[in-house]
Amino acid sequence: MALLLGMSFGSIPVQAQNFAYVTNLTSDYVSVIAVSSNTVVDSVAVGNGPNNVAITPDGAFVYVTNASSLTTSQ
């Protein structure tokens, strides 16, 4: 199961995922966490003030809304 922090864009059941995505509001990054080891494996730069994460049902794309810059990152 994917861990989503912040508001999701509707709940859609998905199969177990390998990664969780956590927004870091003050650093403008999203941390990618390997669920199996509970460790951060990557940090992805996004727009200013990332606060919401949505993952497509097939897990192919992750979208992040950026409150301060009024943008969406993929």
Q: Read off the pLDDT of residues 12-51 as tens digits, 9 standing for 90 and up.
A: 444 557 899 999 988 999 999 999 999 999 999 999 999 9
Instruction: Please check the confidence at residue 72 and state whether its pLDDT lies above 70.
Output: yes
36 DSSP 8-state letter: T
**Residue 17 pLDDT:** 74
- Comparing 6-10, 34-38, 66-70, which segment has the lowest mean pLDDT? 6-10
**Residue 48 pLDDT:** 95
Element (H, E) at 65: strand 62-66
Residue for token pair 């730069």 = 45
- Confidence (pTM): 0.73
